[in-house]
Structure 1
Amino acid sequence: MKTYIFSSVILMLTLFGALNTQAQQIDNAKNNYVVLTKKVPQLQPILLTAESLKAEDGEAFGDFQVIICGKEIGDITDTEKISDFIIKAEKAGVQLIACGFSLNKFKVDKTKVPKEIEVVENGILYNFQLQKKGYKSISL
C-alpha cells in the first residue's frame, strides 16, 4: 500500500513538472496577434490596429496574422476589393490567410486567390493552433 501511494505521488510530481517545463517553452518575449474576420472591408480597421500595435509594442511586436473565412471569402479574388489591403498588409507586416474550408464550401476558384494570401486547410483550426502558441486572438 505504501509503495502504491509513493508511486502515485512520484508520478504526479513528474507530470506537473513536465507541464511546467512545456509552458515555459512558449516565447512570451514577443506579442503575436491573430484576427479571424468574415468580411474584406474589415481589413481596414484591422490593419490600422496592427500598425498601432506595432508602434506601441516596439521591439516586443511579433507576428500579426489575419484569417479570412465565411460566405464572403470570394471577395479576396476581386482585385478592386483586395488589392489595396494586400499592399497595406505587406507594409504593416501583416500576413493574410484564407480559409480553405470556406473557399471549398462557397466554391471559390483557388487559382484566383492572390499569391500574397496564404491558404490554410481550416481557418478556425489554424486560429486555435495559433492561440495554443500564445497568440492573442479576436474574431470579428
Structure 2
Amino acid sequence: MGARRPTTTGAWPWHARLANRVLARELRRRTGANLSDLGPMRAARRAHLIGLDLADRRCGYPLEMVLLAAAAGWRIEETAVDYLPRAGRSKVTGTVRGTFRAIADMRRVLAESNRVRSRPHPSRLNRH
C-alpha cells in the first residue's frame, strides 16, 4: 500500500489527514498490520484481489480491501509515495457531501467487518 507523504503543506486537507489517522489506528488494531495510511494506492495480484470478493463500490472500497486482505492472511506493507497538491477539486475531501458519504461508507464497512468471518487466502482456494 502507498503511504502518502505530502510534498507541500496544502497537499492534504487537515480533515482528511485527521480522518485517515483515525482509520489507520483502527486498521492497526483490527489487523495487526503496521499501517500509517489507508493509502492512495494498493497493489495486489488480480486473481487474489478478485478472490477477496469485495462488495463496496464507493468510498468504503479501500477499507474493505485492507480488512479482507488481512483476514485472508495477506502480507500488508507500506511504501512511501509522494502526495502532490490536487489539480482539481476532490469529490470526497473537497465537498461536505463527499466527506459525509465517505464517513458513512467507511462506518458501514467497519460495522460489517465485525460480522464477517475470516476467508481463506485466494492462493489456497481450489487446490486439491
Short-chain TM bin: under 0.3
The structure whose RCO (Cα within 8 Å, separation 6+) is larger is 2
> 1 or 2, which has the higher strand percentage?
1
Q: Normalising to structure 2: TM-score of the pair?
A: 0.26
Larger Rg, first or second structure (1 or 2): 1
Q: Normalising to structure 1: TM-score of the pair?
A: 0.25
